[in-house]
Amino acid sequence: MSDVRSGSTLLENILSNAPNTISVGELHHLDSHLYKGRWGKTWNWNCSCGKSITDCEFWKKVLHNLEKKNIKIEDTSIKHFRKNYDKTEKNKIIQHNSKTIKLINHIYTAIFKETNTNVIIDSSKHTDHGIMLYKNSDYKVKIIYLKRDIRAVVFSKARWAKKFSQKEKSNYNILRRSKIYDMNLKRKIKSIPEKDVISIRYEELANYPQLIINKIANKFGLEYFEVPEYMDFTNNHTIGGTPNRFVKSKIAYDNKWVKQSKRKPLFHIIGKLSDII
């Protein structure tokens, strides 16, 4: 679990090299990739192998498996509660979410069946999604909480908003929202037993990938493996993530934001304080 723009694509890609493991990307965007919805348009809703979900060898098998059991892919995203929801609306959301978790369980079962692996790396990163899955999945769920310097997250979010011509927000506005998101995540993650959660920093992962991966493998009982030098998705079948995943790139710490942040000294300091408290 993490905020967006926190390096989950890097983590997911490294973990996909673990033996007996399959990485599927952000599974909660499967419906959008299948029906050409809001998520995935930038890469034409394709799987990371370059083919559409219905043409990709991996997803074709999974979808066929589900079809045989008469299970239809509908909305795969968890709906979030808001304070002002009334009772009827709340009940509707609870029903929707429990249906979604059941559907995700079916998808996991199909993936295990079709791939002969025993670990699925699912990068769906929203807090409520992770918590509900942990509490209601038919499978053992382990959570990785990935945290990145909040200033890097802010600049990355601002760049994306600009790129996709969303309404521009000030850096402070993005900072405030990101901080609320992270505080919420940290609060909710406390409901999960410590043995099933690991917290890692993006900066440490990018600088010392082998060390951090060994730590994860050790805690969750994954087989040890050597971290590759490059991020490469061409052999994977993942959905969601960033458009960068279509480019093979060296695993390295992305510090481009530091210069940008230092040009705004006040933001640089407030961001730093906000990152550590």
Contacting positions for Zn ion (CB under 5 A) = 47, 49, 56, 58, 237
Nearest CB to Zn ion, comparing residues 116 and 165: 116
Smallest gap, in angstroms, from Cβ of residue 224 to Zn ion?
Answer: 27
Least distance in angstroms from the C-beta of 57 to Zn ion: 6
**Min CB(44)–Zn ion separation in Å:** 13
In the complex, least distance from residue 139 CB atom to Zn ion, rounded to whole angstroms: 22
31 versus 149: smaller Cβ distance to Zn ion: 31
How many CB atoms lie under 10 A from the CB of residue 18? 21
What is the smallest separation between the CB atom of 117 and Zn ion, expressed in angstroms? 15
CA 21 – CA 53 distance, rounded (Å): 20
Packing angle of the helix pair 265-276, 150-163 (nearest 10 deg): 120
Question: At closest approach, how far in Å is the CB of 124 from Zn ion?
Answer: 17
Which C-beta is closer to Zn ion: that of 155 or that of 233? 233
Q: Supply the minimum distance, in Å, between the C-beta of residue 121 and Zn ion.
A: 15
**Judged by CB, which is closer to Zn ion: 47, or 231?**
47
> Between 43 and 58, whose beta carbon lies closer to Zn ion?
58
Residue 81 CA: distances (Å) to CA of 92, 195, 218, 277: 11, 27, 35, 26
Backbone angles phi, psi at 218, to 5 degrees: -65, -45
The whole-angstrom distance between residue 196's C-alpha and the CA centroid of its chain comes to 17
- Show the tokens assigned to 143: 């959570």
> Whose Cβ is closer to Zn ion: residue 62's or residue 152's?
62
Token readout for 4 is 């967006």
Q: Which is nearer to Zn ion, 58 or 108 (CB)?
A: 58
